[in-house]
Structure 1
Amino acid sequence: MGNPFKAMIMGYFLPLLAASIVIFIPDYDSNALVWTIAIFVILLTMPILLSFRFPTNREKAYKLTLTYQLYAFTFFFAFPLLRVLQDHIVIQLLLIGVFVGMYFVARIDQRSEIPVVYPDSDKVKWIAYPFYTIPFVLAILGVGGNISAIRILFDYFGTTTMMPYFSTIIYLFSCWLMFLFSSLAYKSHVKEGYLEK
């Protein structure tokens, strides 16, 4: 993996990139900025706290921090839909529950005989095929991120229709990423014992 400390430092750019993309979607919100800063403060203190937790293995602390940076990166993509539905606290909590649930579903899947993400054998689950097509389907539904096409859709259908639509696409992509990253982390950290090496 190279130098874990350098990888961890570079890893801070991932959630920063995601936050800078979604902070203004749908509109600037000071509450969202507070949540963003709080998450970054946690990420910044994490390697220090984990170094105390693993005093003889700082590389482990750096690798775990990098994993949580990836989780934060995916969580920021859930922000737009949460903000669109800011008046519906029950739905927001449900969406957060589904997002966090991807973490546990991925771990359960990795404990199965043939996991969806990087199975240990040549066998492939049938669900793996639709799983890997999800980003392409979402890209098509999101008109490939074409700014001109998105602007035309917003002008034609209106913001009240298109903002929830595109926010939902981004949210579904964040859930997909969460499942993928959680699967990779479990496979590497637990099944292959990467953190112990």
Structure 2
Amino acid sequence: MTCRKRRSAALLSLSLGLLILAGCSTTPPPSTVSHVPPEEGHYRTDGPGLHPPANLASIPDAVPRKEPLNKFANRPYTALGKVYVPDLSNKPYKVQGLASWYGRKFHNQKTSTGELYDMYGMTGASTTLPLPCYVRVTNLANRKSVVVRVNDRGPFKSDRVIDLTYTAAWKLGFVNQGTAWVEVERVFPE
């Protein structure tokens, strides 16, 4: 067998082994993880659905109000092999990073708090913020800002800091790009 044939056979064996291992992998049970991030570029086919509201701009931001923490959604949990511990300290929170959005694939599915996800609402997902809570998200490229109610867990990609509804991403001006560099700051009821 020539060196080239041996290398091709070794690559084929390695590829088959990886495929078999991938088939054996598991995903977290639905009760642990609300949603898994879409593949890159998936945002192009994930919204806005067939009948979006006539005027997305008129959908109001979330208004912070006092709410009890969800007793189930604030426990430590594992998603995609990583352990997350929600921060229930009520400390100020401000972070910059990538925001993404999730749309019709999860529309009307249960969020981590048990509420139905509404891609036309003003909500978001965080891996460690307490559920529910409220944050102001500002697109640092255009300075547009919205307030959303965080009621879900995600995004489970290490480079993302928040996942937003289609409407929130539309208002922030990054629906067509799929992601944007943002600042996320926790806001509290008056």
- Tell me the TM-score normalised to structure 1 length: 0.20
Higher strand share goes to which structure? 2
Choose between structure 1 and 2: higher helix proportion. 1
Q: TM-score, normalised by structure 2?
A: 0.21
